[in-house]
Structure 1
């Protein structure tokens, strides 16, 4: 299981090394991933439709930069005292909205 593997790696990994995990939205554990930040382990996932979170603030980003094409908003949210970011991205071709949590 990924959780057990990360705990083993955290004991020996160089803390300046960063890792990004693309994670299944059905098993997102906010508290676990919040704790992983200190070990350089970051997560991105599709936000579950039934997620409950409180809006905290918008995060400024350069809407004119080509890397941000399709990004409609970038914001901080909170759930049970844990803060995380949500990116709303609309695919320019399909017009479908995707919501990512990181």
Structure 2
């Protein structure tokens, strides 16, 4: 009788232990960091002494919203948006830039 009670208690303990140990659900994957947008630049055309036309086509956002689009230029190499620039909307799609004030 003692052996039967011992095995019954042991079985009860094992059931409690194994049914009470549940794994936490896996954490959701982290959102990927935004990449760079995909831009196809339009060739510069209609060049005059002080103006020119250009633009481009933003075909993919790269994981974050495109908040501004346009063309930047400078008399130095590698212009940035801190130099002269156009403001031609936001988002994906084709845009046209009228570059003025060239010297």
Query: If the TM-score is normalised by the length of the shorter chain, which range does it land in?
Result: under 0.3
Question: Radius of gyration: which is bigger?
Answer: 2
Q: Which structure shows the bigger proportion of residues in helix conformation? A: 1
TM-score normalised according to structure 1 size? 0.26
TM-score normalised according to structure 2 size? 0.26
